[in-house]
């Protein structure tokens, strides 16, 4: 199933066994995380958006690895 058929941005796709739902979020949400991450954390080397080398980062990595393992097992 190709969920990325829309050429416009600000789309949210929810997909499950029953199908997909596409929501246009233009003008409905902002980017507070992005603005906190790029300017302070990346340019000024702060840890406002996410603590880089502490619990949050390692938990995010573990979650990604678990999700990939489950996806690989589901394809077999």
**Assigned token pair, 33:** 């995380």
Q: Which pLDDT score is estimated for 51?
A: 62
Q: Which pLDDT score is estimated for 72?
A: 92
Distance from chain centroid for Cα 44: 23
Q: Which pLDDT score is estimated for 73?
A: 92
**16-65 pLDDT per residue, tens:** 888 888 888 887 766 666 776 667 777 777 777 666 566 677 788 899 99
Q: Which pLDDT score is estimated for 2?
A: 66
Q: What is the mean pLDDT of residues 65-69?
A: 94
pLDDT at residue 3 tops 90: no
Kindly give, in sequence order, each residue whose CB lies less than 8 Å from that of residue 49, ignoring residues fewer than 6 positions away: 33, 36, 37, 40, 41
The beta-strand segments (E) located in the chain are 11-16, 19-24
């Amino acid at each position: 199933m190709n969920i990325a058929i829309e050429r416009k941005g600000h789309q949210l796709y929810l997909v499950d066994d029953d199908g997909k739902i596409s929501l246009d979020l233009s003008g409905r949400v902002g980017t507070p995380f992005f603005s906190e991450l790029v300017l302070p954390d990346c340019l000024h080397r702060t840890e406002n958006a996410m603590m880089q080398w502490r619990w949050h980062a390692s938990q995010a990595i573990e979650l990604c690895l678990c999700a990939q393992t489950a996806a690989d097992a589901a394809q077999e």
